[in-house]
Structures are given as structure tokens and as C-alpha cells.
Amino acid sequence: MRILLISDIHANLVAFEAVLEASVNQWDQVMFLGDLVGYGPEPNECVALMRQLPHVALSGNHDWAALGRIDIESFNANARQAMHWTQATLSTASYDYLAELPPLTMDSQFTYAHASPRDPVWEYVSDLETAASNFAHFETNVCFVGHTHVPVIFVLDALQAVTAYAPVYGEPLSLAGTDRFIINPGSVGQPRDTDARAAYAVLDTDAVTLTHFRVAYDVAETQRRMIAHELPPPLIARLQYGF
Ligand code: ZN
């Protein structure tokens, strides 16, 4: 089976649609790693589009905030303002859908978490030390995570050394063999690796390969929709820098 592996859409419908268009016929099912809402201008539309797809979805910290499960005082001022708008905008149907999602799931081959296998809602796996200490917290060879909005591949080799590298777009990476991996496909709706394009990956569970991709989307259109809802200017500006 081929899985479209995506994370951190953050209510950016234009970016979500661009990923679906770019990856058409490349996958059989979607695996979404959480943060469907928060920051962006179209939370209900993103929930509705996800629900039309054959998919499994996780919840992220912004989804939990939208559900009122976490105190948004821990968010910075811009994220907090956007979250107040999101909470006021979210329909009952969207709320009920998000409320059913877990922050972590696994099958016989792979583990999937929003943030990290150790702390599926909050922990940022963005350095070697954090990655190294997380390998003890899942059983499968590979764990996929989102949350940092930065595509990255952490590898634990047979000598127990951990290394990190950026993906080579369009080139399948073999996940077979004895190495273990923690891999982030990057963010669809708010990339933070200074590349403004939407990020996604395709996982082939038979060949046991993962291929990362980027696709440009109409950033200005998402920005117009954010301006229309008076979302915070720094959140609007950052989309064009991918940071
Ligand atoms: Zn996020």
C-alpha cells in the first residue's frame, strides 16, 4: 500500500489542495500526523476535505487547544489570538471529528505520533539528543512524527549512533534493514525550514521506502484569506518565508 504521509496542515486549505493535486494517483490512503487546525483561515474546510479522503488522522497540540483540552496561555500571543478565532469558528461537526483523534497510533510496521513517541502531543524532536532518547519509546523500526514543521530524517545505526539529515526530494529512501528511523515529512500548511513550499511524503509499505516531496502553492491566496479573517500579521507574513 502507498500512504500519503502529511502533517501540520494548520487550516491552510490552499496548501492542502496543492498537495493532493501534486500527489494524485501516488497513494491509496492518507496518514495525517496532526494539527489540522490552528494558525490558518479554513479549519472547517480542511476538516471536511480530510473526511472525504480514505485516511487515518492523529490530533496535535493545536487540535487539542481548539478542543479546549490544553491551556492556551502557553501559546505565544499570535498563536493564542489565532486559536481564539479558531475556537469561535470551529463547527460542531469539526469539533466532534477532532475530538475522536488520538495523538499516536501504530501498526505492525510503523509508529505514528504527532510530536514524539515519548510525548505524542508536546515534545519537539528537533535535535540529535532528543531523537536518540526517543528510540527507546517505540517498538517498530520506524516512527513518523510532525510538530516541528521541519522535514528531517534521524537514523539510529547498528553501532547505536544517531545522525540527522535533510531529505533528498523525489528520491526513495529505503527503510528496510536494521537501521531505525524517526522521520518528519514536514508541514503542509506552515513550513518552518525556510522553504515556503508545502511538504509531504509518500510511504510505500510493500517496498518499504519513503519519498519526500515539496510543492509550491498559492501562498498569496492563503494570505488573502487570513487577512479577511484579521488573523495576526506575523502569522500571515511567515508563510512566504517558510519560517
Ligand atoms: Zn503544528
Give tens-digit pLDDT for 64-116. Answer: 999 999 989 889 999 999 999 999 999 999 999 999 999 999 999 999 999 99
Ligand 1 centre distance from Cα of residue 162 (Å) = 24
112 CA distance to ligand 1 middle (Å) = 15
Distance from the CA of 2 to the center of ligand 1, in angstroms?
24
- Average the pLDDT over 44-65 and give the result: 98
Q: How far is residue 81's CA from residue 205's CA, in Å, rounded to a whole number?
A: 40
Q: Would you kindly state where each structural domain of the chain is located, as residue ranges?
A: 2-238
Report the predicted TM-score, pTM, of the whole model to 2 decimal places: 0.97
Dist. CA 174 → ligand 1 center (Å)? 27
- The Cα–Cα gap between 208 and 206 comes to 5
Record the cell numbers describing residue 36, joined without a space.
489540522
3-class SS at 137?
helix
Q: Which pLDDT belongs to residue 74?
A: 84
Cα of 160 from ligand 1 centre, angstroms:
30
Residue 55 has pLDDT above 90, yes or no: yes
* 120-142 mean pLDDT: 98
Instruction: Residues 2-238: name the CATH superfamily.
Output: Metallo-dependent phosphatases (3.60.21.10)
Counting residues of the chain whose pLDDT is more than 70, the rounded percentage is: 100
**pLDDT over 90 (residue 216):** yes
Q: Kindly give the distance from the C-alpha atom of residue 121 to the centroid of ligand 1, in angstroms, as a whole number.
A: 10
3-state secondary structure 56-113: EECCCHHHHHHCCCCCHHHCCHHHHHHHHHHHHHCCHHHHHHHHCCCCEEECCCEEEE
**pLDDT greater than 90 at residue 44:** yes
Ligand 1 centre and the CA of 159: distance in Å?
33
CA of 72 to the centre of ligand 1 (A): 14
Backbone φ, ψ for residue 39 (5° rounding): 80, -50
| Distance from residue 171's CA to the centre of ligand 1 (Å) | 25
CA 158 to ligand 1 center in whole angstroms: 32
Q: What are phi and psi of 210, to 5 degrees?
A: -130, 135
Q: Which three cell numbers stand for residue 233?
A: 500579521
Question: 147 CA to middle of ligand 1, Å?
Answer: 5
- What spacing in Å lies between the alpha carbon of 239 and ligand 1's midpoint? 13
Cα–Cα distances (Å) from 52 to 49, 127, 238, in that order, read 5, 36, 29
C-alpha distances in Å from residue 51, one per residue of 36, 48, 201: 11, 5, 20
- Alpha-carbon distance of 203 to 128, in angstroms, equals 23
CA of 60 to the centre of ligand 1 (A): 7
Q: Say how many Å lie between the CA of residue 79 and the centre of ligand 1.
A: 11
Strand partners, 104: 113
